[in-house]
Amino acid sequence: MAETTPRPRREREEEVLVWPDLVFVEFIAVMLFSVTLLILSTAIDAPLLNHANPDLTPNPSKAPWYLLNLQELLLHMEAGLAGVTVPTIALVLLAAIPYIDRKTDAQGRWWGTENSIKIALFSWGATIVLMWLLILFDAGKFEPYTRWFPGLPDGKGLSGLRTLQTDWKWTLGGLRYPNDLTNIPAPFGIDNINLAGDRKVFLYWNKGGINLVAFMVEQIIPMTVIIGLSVLLVLVQKVFRWVHTTRDVMIVLFSGFMAAFLVLTIVGTFFRGEGQNLVPPWEVPIHPHGA
């Protein structure tokens, strides 16, 4: 007997009318939000501190919360890199997602590919852990456990990336680190080309020479860590045989980006006290000194 298949339902039969089905849902959502926000507004007042005083800097001074991720990043690398270059690249890559992942499959439903839930959960989880480890490292929390690191003064460990610039000393052949690398004469004796005013072409090119050590600590290593960990996150899940398509790679990177963004925002908001020191949330002043 010939196999019979049920007639697939026509697209038209799967449709519902926007009024009332969608408009009703929207109405409920709007009402829920209006009521919740109204209750919040009666319960919690917007802050208004003392009159602005440009001569009195509050400690800590913080940007609005959605920029605290950048302010947090600023503590770990060169300001221009953290505050402008990295976010600009991130935004451009974000906008470029549909031009990289052009396949039309797996669209219009949650997750879409075979392993996408696993991938997203792993990427979020791993990134959150990694970000915390990096932040704790740069706050010097691993100093007691890194005293084995060669080239440091006796009894001292790595209290962050900066240690490589301040306390790290070694010689290799005739090369003495860091002294030989902080003031490398520019080729042909040319000076850093100053455009108008203070606009330097290369930030680490001071009068007399180039500071390669600062460049390494403030730019090369942070950039390498960002790119390296992103690549590693993809590769690890390729080894797990979870990642197959471009869509999967996008899920890894997007999830990692959002997780990093979230951790940076939370640390910047709830864990940075006076002097931008890493402290538990209850030690972060709500009304900072001076405000």
Partner 1 sequence: MAVTEQPGKPGLGERIYALLFQNYIWRSVFRSGYPNTPRNQMLVVATNVFLHLHPTRIHRTHVKITHTYCLGGLSFFMFLGLTVTGVLLMFYYIPSTETAYINMKALETDVQFGLLMRNMHRWMAHAMVILVFLHMMRVFYTGAYKPPREFNWVVGVVLLVLTILLSFTGYLLPWDQLSIWAITVGSNIAGSAPVLGGDVKFTLFGGFSIGQTSLIRFYTLHVIALPLLAAVFMTVHFWRIRRDGGMARPL
Site size with partner 1, rule: CB under 8 A: 85
Return d(Cα 181, Cα 196) in angstroms, integer.
28
106 contributes a contact to partner 1 by CB under 8 A: yes
102 contributes a contact to partner 1 by CB under 8 A: yes
Residue that is written with structure tokens 């000393």 in the block: 169
Strand pairing class (170-172; 205-206): unpaired
Please state the closest distance from residue 38 (CB atom) to partner 1, in A: 7
Window 70-99: residues binding partner 1 (CB under 8 A):
70-71, 74, 79-80, 82-85, 91, 94-95, 97-99
Please state the closest distance from residue 180 (CB atom) to partner 1, in A: 26
The residue among 1 and 40 lying less far from partner 1, judged by its C-beta, is 40
Give residues with Cβ within 8 angstroms of 187, minimum separation 6. none
Site string for partner 1, 135-174 (x = CB under 8 A): ----------------------------------------
Please state the closest distance from residue 194 (CB atom) to partner 1, in A: 11
Window 27-56: residues binding partner 1 (CB under 8 A):
29-30, 33-34, 37-38, 40-42, 44-54, 56
Is residue 98 packed enough to be buried (19+ CB in 10 Å), middle (13-18) or exposed (0-12)? Answer: exposed
Return d(Cα 224, Cα 226) in angstroms, integer.
6
What's the Cα-to-Cα distance from 187 to each of 53, 76, 163, 180, 213, rounded to whole Å? 47, 30, 29, 15, 18
